[in-house]
Amino acid sequence: MNVLIVGQGGVTREFRHWPERVLALALARRGHTVWSIGTFDRTRTALATRDEQIEGVQVYRVRSAYWPNGELARALRRGPRPDIIHFMHPRNVLAAQTTAWALKQRIPTVYTWLGPFHDHYLAPDRERPFEVAPTYERLIFSRLALLRRLPIERAPRDLIRNYRLHWPLRMATALAPCSEFEAGMMRKLGMHQLQTMIPLWIDDQSIRTTPRIPPPLSQPRPWLLFVGQITPRKGYDLAVRALPTILAQYPTATLLVVSGLNQAQRSELLQLAGQLGVERHIEMLGFLPDAELVNLFRASDTLLFPTRYEGFGLPLLEAMAAECPIVTTDIPVVREIVTDQQNGLLVAPNDAVALAKATLQLLDTPALRQKLIAGGQATLRTRFAEATLAPQIEQFYRDVVAGAPRHG
């Protein structure tokens, strides 16, 4: 089968676990012709090459734009005619033009939204989306709805952006949500296409085969690892606020922060740490290459993942593959991956005290640590394995192309 994957970031050499890359390479290994279109960004090394081959996948990168884009039109003509197009990403600005082209060519499309609450039209506060009711009525799925709202709201460019983001969802032949939460959100939005929920997975083989090299760090232990953007959505403030309680029992504990930081974010975190008197117990590591991050997962005593919202939660799978026990929040999507006391510890969201207590329980109980590591390994084998999920995607594609997708 000839598959075109269109994503915002797309297939890259640098980010091995991005969903577009994992899917594309898995399909290519299984004998399919796979090509990808993503966005070009000269300021980011991973996205700064226009055309390249990555492990058998032809990648084209084009200018990111809400409006019709000559670069995208040329890229669509350059590749072989696809049997199916798979869109991924909640703010996929390439999807509208590609969908219009696919309709003319009579090519079926599949959409994986990858996190509805990343969409600012749906989530008024994307940093704390479960604390504010979603605004379903804001989303524009049809030209008629757009024309009705234009004279009322008098913000034509924003309304057209809204329409061009959401029309491809409505026009998709089928939907492949990556979680039951995403599937439920699509039903609430009136998406009546047939859909099959197929979770994401990671390149866990690359993690297992990464050479074991101890991180070159001299910080005292235990090491508490935080991986993610320094934003309220990721709960960095909760990790920092949990430190005083943890330090009361483990006075040499260090919070290791892995994030591509800008100066404002770094200052914000360190200001909070200074207010709590824990600044010297935090090490800002910035962005780390994949191999270094894998070894940091392996060496850390726990992953603190106090997120307020996740489209899926790939770092949870990365930690499981690297045998790093997890403490995370009990929110939708996360609880589809983590079962409390089995493959991780779940705590109430927005609760730094609960986060600290669960972390202390893990640090105090070596047997629990080993149980969670074993549970994580079993989770990857039984629920998030390429060998299981790639054939599901293949069958779904075949059903969509044949015009009779199965219900999921």
CATH number of domain containing 47: 3.40.50.2000
In sequence order, the 6+-apart residues with CB closer than 8 A to the CB of 171 are 99, 103, 109
CB count, 10 Å around CB of 224? 26
Q: In what order do the strands lie in the sheet with 223-227?
A: 282-286, 254-258, 223-227, 302-305, 326-329, 345-347
Q: 248 and 118 in one domain? A: no
The answer to whether residue 371 sits within a structural domain is: yes
Beta bridge partners of 34: 3
In sequence order, the 6+-apart residues with CB closer than 8 A to the CB of 128 are 232, 233, 308, 309
User: Domain range holding 79?
Assistant: 2-201+385-402
Peptide bond before residue 220 is cis, with ω within 30 degrees of 0: no
The closest alpha carbon to 202, from 299, 89, 296, 316, belongs to 316
Alpha-carbon gap, residue 246 to 158, rounded angstroms: 46
Indicate the helix (H) or strand (E) that contains 7.
strand 2-7
The answer to whether residue 42 sits within a structural domain is: yes
Q: 122 and 164 in one domain? A: yes
The answer to whether residue 408 sits within a structural domain is: no
The answer to whether residue 14 sits within a structural domain is: yes
> Phi and psi at residue 102, in whole multiples of 5°?
-65, -40
Sort strands 326-329 and 302-305 into parallel, antiparallel or unpaired.
parallel
| Alpha carbon distances (Å) from 125 to 185, 261, 363 | 17, 21, 34
Classify residue 371 by its DSSP letter. Answer: H
Per-residue pLDDT, 113: 93
Classify residue 343 by its DSSP letter. Answer: T
Q: 6 and 145 in one domain? A: yes
The answer to whether residue 334 sits within a structural domain is: yes
The answer to whether residue 195 sits within a structural domain is: yes
| CA dihedral angle for residue 104, residue 108, residue 113, residue 116, rounded to 10 degrees | 70
Q: 233 and 197 in one domain? A: no
Q: 109 and 44 in one domain? A: yes
Per the structure, how many domains does the chain have? 2
Q: 174 and 95 in one domain? A: yes
Tokens representing 370?
Answer: 């080993």
Characterise 403 by phi-psi region: left (phi > 0), alpha (psi -120 to 50), beta (else): left
Beta bridge partners of 39: 62
Q: 127 and 249 in one domain? A: no
**DSSP letter string, 312-335:** S-HHHHHHHHTT--EEEE--TTHH
Characterise 366 by phi-psi region: left (phi > 0), alpha (psi -120 to 50), beta (else): alpha
Q: 361 and 397 in one domain? A: no
Question: Is the distance from CB of 225 to CB of 258 less than 8 angstroms?
Answer: yes
The answer to whether residue 341 sits within a structural domain is: yes
> Phi and psi at residue 256, in whole multiples of 5°?
-95, 120
SS3 of the chain: helix, strand, coil, percent, to 5: 45, 15, 40
Q: 361 and 225 in one domain? A: yes
Q: 173 and 270 in one domain? A: no
The closest alpha carbon to 301, from 237, 214, 359, belongs to 359
Alpha-carbon gap, residue 182 to 180, rounded angstroms: 5
Q: Which residue numbers in the chain have pLDDT < 70? A: 261-263, 404-408
Q: 262 and 235 in one domain? A: yes
Q: 393 and 376 in one domain? A: no
> Phi and psi at residue 371, in whole multiples of 5°?
-65, -45
**DSSP letter string, 128-177:** SGGGS---GGG---SHHHHHHHHHHH--HHHHHHHHHHHHHHHH-SEE--
Alpha-carbon gap, residue 361 to 371, rounded angstroms: 13
Per-residue pLDDT, 407: 41
The answer to whether residue 272 sits within a structural domain is: yes
